[in-house]
Chains A and B, each alone.
Chain A
Amino acid sequence: DTAVSQTPKYLVTQMGNDKSIKCEQNLGHDTMYWYKQDSKKFLKIMFSYNNKELIINETVPNRFSPKSPDKAHLNLHINSLELGDSAVYFCASSQGAGGRAQHFGDGTRLSIL
């Protein structure tokens, strides 16, 4: 009974392709996030949704488009993949958006060839 689950765990693809990562949480939380962790382990917020509404949109290229069909799901679609997109992408969730404990999935390792 995984709390925050992401699929796929690994994603290897060619430059220029379009790919999606899916995230689901069964904690009943109302806020979900996407983070990017680079090769140096730097962890940076990309997007956040609260009750399906986008509340955080950091300076991320518009090739990245999040979508939240309901409170339990947050997907990330990436167009025209570039070498610099190689990273581990983490989904997280929390109850409430400010100053709350965030629960992370185990990540999706994206490798661009």
Chain B
Amino acid sequence: GENVEQHPSTLSVQEGDSAVIKCTYSDSASNYFPWYKQELGKGPQLIIDIRSNVGEKKDQRIAVTLNKTAKHFSLHITETQPEDSAVYFCAAPRGSGNEKLTFGTGTRLTIIP
């Protein structure tokens, strides 16, 4: 089955600096890699995702990079703001139809004003 490792578990950065969260996965058949943001008392919210046929995707201050050979993908947040403080989860699919998502263990990101 799929094994997803996520690092770091906690991350504090100064407002305006960049934050990077990394994930590795084990199943070479995985083809879809989403990132979720979870704020206190809320459900995870999809912020960006990438498919295995591209190496990078960007949406304003958020970008995701994928290295299929090394089986790792990363979330990059630039010009961080206090509202970026949350728990971030990566995920990778498993199952014959990639129908099951295995989530990473989460990264608690704190933006220091």
Contact = CB atoms under 8 A, between A and B. Distances in A.
Nearest to A104: B43
A42 B105 CA distance: 6
A43 B98 contact: no
Contacts of B73: none
B100 A90 contact: no
A92 to B, nearest CB: 8
Contacts, number: 59
Interface class of chain B by DSSP: strand
B100 A56 contact: yes
A61 to B, nearest CB: 18
A98 B98 contact: yes
A106 to B, nearest CB: 5
Contacts of B98: 98-99
Interface of A: 4, 40-45, 48, 55-56, 58, 90, 92, 97-107
25 contacts: A4-B43, A40-B105, A41-B38, A41-B105, A41-B106, A42-B103, A43-B89, A44-B103, A56-B99, A58-B100, A90-B43, A92-B43, A97-B97, A98-B32, A99-B51, A100-B32, A101-B46, A102-B101, A104-B43, A104-B44, A104-B45, A105-B43, A106-B42, A107-B42, A107-B43
